[in-house]
Amino acid sequence: MRVLGDFDLAEEVVQDSLVAALETWPEQGIPDKPGAWLMTTARRRAIDILRRNTRYREKLALMERSALTPEPSEADDRLRLIFTCCHPALSQEAQVALTLRAVVGFTTAEIGSAFLVAEATVAQRIVRAKRKIVDAHIPYRVPEGGELAGRLDGVLAVLYLMFNEGYLSRGAQRAMRRDLADDALWLTRLVATLLPDQPEVLGLLALMKLNLARSEARFDASGEMVLLPDQDRSLWDHAAIADGIATLERAGGMRASGPYQVQAAIAALHAEAPSWAETDWHQIVVLYEALVRMADSPVVRLNRAVALSHFAGPEVALGEVNDLALSLSGYHLFHSTRAELLDQVGEPVLAREARRRALDLCQNPAERSLLERKLRS
Amino acid sequence: MKYVLMFAGSVDEQEAWEKMPDATRVAAYERVNQWFEEHSRAGRITGGAELQGPSSATTVRIKNGKAVVTDGPFIEAKEIIGGFAVVEVKDLDEALEMAKTWPGGGIVEVRPVVDHSEG
């Protein structure tokens, strides 16, 4: 589509080559020795580990780079298409829909069901977005130089949104959409292959891998949700954890930290802890501090407060959480987190109240069931 | 590809501009002029103007063939358009690059111009 207006044609060409890539995508085994991940904040130890794992990292880098060996022009087309779909001149909703449609090959019905929007709305969003691409001459190109970082942030935001909707659905129909999460992972891996020198792409990839590695333990046999403290850690996919950590180490080696890498490092610390009690809360709080500096948001602060409760006690954490009431009053996890902390400081009546509020705001069936169980106990 | 860059700002910004000490305003105009000159020399700007404030506006509404003249801008908004530039660039990214470096502050809306030459 370097010739403008041929968006549909470009989409088709790229989809064909993606299907071909999918068919030949090698399902490689994960190297057998999991490396312990340490954040750059623990530099001294990190350097040791990196030395120890150099060979392993090289092997993995080689594997990931050779996972997809498209013709250079094909790779360029794919990347151009992704950047065009995620152009900031399009609304983020349109970016997500267009990326799923044009790059991953979802039907409009599938996009609608994944994001709880009517199919007609999705179709209209896509038509409008394509029309804008043509009318406003949105270029079909990969941004260069100083422009790349900013535009890449937009692409990663779309990928992360896709993943999160798959990992823990906001909707009432299903708790998790593994297919959507897997597609987001696949697409992120593709971007990482096409842009191998971008540490934040690898950071996001590692974050997704580490979260997905816990999938088996997140729901029990009857489909009830099991939260991290209560999960059977032997059900975690330890090979996938090692893979995620190796990806994060590769990102760390590029010496440019960023919010996705930090979140992945937090996920890695959880993944490596033998139990909830033995989690390195100090390190996790340090990482959340870093995250607040890089990408401050009320949700990040809420998560930091949870980590802080294990390190500085529930009273301190509750104070932090209460400070977020204004911005997070419509977010169910704010109320359920508050409920947990209120229980810990011996305020069961207030805790119940907060839990009821969380239930009112939550649609995900597994999360609702968990809240209901706690309200009954 | 032709675009119009519309330079807008809030009413507050407009007032702040008017209350600016002369020396500061001269310096600000200087930066705006430089921007215009630079892009004109590079062939990217083909036209443009700074508009007087909304209090100077008169609106003509044509309804059923009859023209009704009223005082004021056609829409009472918190943002007002202070000027525009007609630019000729490769694509939206280049137009956005220009908008991002606009030294006048406030808001820049970028709109493609309809091309009547084809079809």
Rounded to a whole number of angstroms, the distance from the CA of B109 to the nearest CA of chain A is 11
Q: Three-state secondary structure along chain B?
A: CEEEEEEEEEHHHHHHHHHCCHHHHHHHHHHHHHHHHHHHHCCCEEEEEECCCHHHCEEEEEECCEEEEEECCCCCCCEEEEEEEEEECCCHHHHHHHHHCCCCCCEEEEEECCCCCCC
CA-nearest residue to B89 within chain A is A137
Q: Which residues of A touch B90 (CB under 8 A)?
A: 137, 139
CA distance A339 to A25: 46
Between CA A36 and CA A19 the distance in angstroms is 35
- How many Å apart are CA A91 and CA B99, to the nearest integer? 19
**ipTM > 0.85 for the complex:** no
Q: What pLDDT is stored for residue B78 in this prediction? A: 85
Asked if the Cβ–Cβ distance from A89 to B112 is below 8 Å, we say: no
Residues from chain B contacting residue A141 (CB–CB below 8 Å): 93
Phi and psi torsions of B100, nearest 5°? -65, -25
What the block records as the tokens of B35 is 């921007």
Q: How many CB atoms lie within 10 A of CB A177?
A: 20
Cross-chain Cβ contact A139/B93 below 8 Å: yes
Please tell me the predicted confidence (pLDDT) of residue A311: 85
Q: Give the model's pLDDT for residue A179.
A: 77
| Exposed e or buried b per residue across A37-54, where buried means at least 16 C-beta atoms within 10 angstroms of its C-beta | bbbeeeeeebeebbeebe
B81 close contact with A: CB closer than 8 A = no
| Type of residue found at B54 | P
* DSSP bridge pairs for B108: B7
Nearest beta carbon to residue B112 from set A136, A143, A147: A136
Task: List CB contacts (< 8 A) between A151 and chain B.
Answer: none
Digitized pLDDT (tens) for each residue of chain A, 377 residues in all: 343 344 555 555 444 444 433 333 333 322 232 222 222 222 233 333 444 455 444 543 443 444 444 455 566 777 888 899 999 999 999 999 999 888 777 788 888 887 878 999 999 999 999 889 888 999 888 998 888 988 999 999 999 998 998 888 776 667 777 778 888 898 899 899 889 999 999 999 999 999 999 999 999 988 888 999 999 999 999 999 999 999 999 999 999 999 999 999 999 999 999 999 999 999 999 999 999 999 999 999 999 999 999 989 999 999 999 999 999 999 999 999 999 999 999 999 999 999 999 999 998 888 999 999 999 98
Q: Locate the chain A residue with the closest alpha carbon to B97.
A: A147
Strand partners, B2: B88
User: How many CA atoms lie within 13 Å of B21's alpha carbon, on the beta-carbon side?
Assistant: 2
* Residue A219, helix vs strand vs coil: strand
| pLDDT at B100 > cutoff 70 | yes
Task: Report CB contact under 8 Å: A137, B96.
Answer: no
Residues on chain B touching A131 (C-beta within 8 angstroms):
none
The answer to pTM > 0.80 is no
In one-letter notation, the amino acid at residue A371 is L
- Most B CBs within 10 A among A2, A137, A148, hence the mutation to make, goes to A137
